[in-house]
Structures are given as C-alpha cells and as structure tokens.
Amino acid sequence: MRSIERFSLRETSVQIWNQSKCKEALKWRNIEVTDKICASVKEGEYICSFHEVRFLVAQISPLPHWHVVGINSFSTPFCDRSGNPIVFFKVDKSLDWINSNIDI
C-alpha cells in the first residue's frame, strides 16, 4: 500500500492566461501549450514551488461545485513575478494518462 502524503490546502486567486500569451511565455522551452494552462499570481505572492501548487480548481457554471481543471506541471523561474507563469496540465486533456496511472 502506498503511503499518503499529508499537506494542508491553501487558496489564492490566479489569473488564467490566454493560449497565445502562454505559448509566448514558454517558447524558450519549445513546449506545446494546447494541453496546458498558464496562470500567474499577484507580484510578490509566492506559490511557485511544485510542492506548494498542486491543483488548479475552478467553479464551472452552472454547477456550484469545485472541479480540478489542472494538475501542476512546472513553474517557470521567478513565477511570483508578473510575466512568469505557473503551468498546469489540463485534466480533461490528460484523462487517459491519469486513468492508466492511478492505483485504486
């Protein structure tokens, strides 16, 4: 049986980037962004570490429930500064991989 890592949930607001801005910010890594979500926080707010940002959740209308829409992929250097995104895999684009790799 796997051990379960314990962590506390924290919340902050992020700004979701459009795909063209995301692509421009990640062009130095030659990364395809169609399966990614780029987001940023207010300058000086540090939530950039992989160990701190795990999931991107959103309320999708008309449902009042929270849904996991992104799983942390990586953070760019200085992602606590404007112009540097936190990058998430889109859950809906990754369901086949997620289902084949979960151990339930």
Tens digits of per-residue pLDDT, 56-95?
A: 888 877 777 888 899 888 766 665 555 678 888 899 988 8
Question: Mean pLDDT, the chain, as a whole number?
Answer: 76
The band of 6, judged by pLDDT with boundaries at 50, 70 and 90, is: low
Q: Which domains does the chain have, with CATH numbers?
A: 15-101 (2.40.10.10)
- In sequence order, which ranges of 1-91 are alpha helices (DSSP H)? 19-26
Structural tokens at position 13: 């607001």
For residue 24, pLDDT over 80 is answered with yes
pTM above 0.85, yes or no: no
What is the mean pLDDT of the segment spanning 49-58? 68
Helix (H) or strand (E) holding 89: strand 86-90
Q: Quickly state the pLDDT bin for 50 (edges 50, 70, 90).
A: very low
Mean pLDDT check: name the lowest of 14-23, 31-40, 67-76: 67-76
Alpha carbon of residue 94 to chain centroid: 13
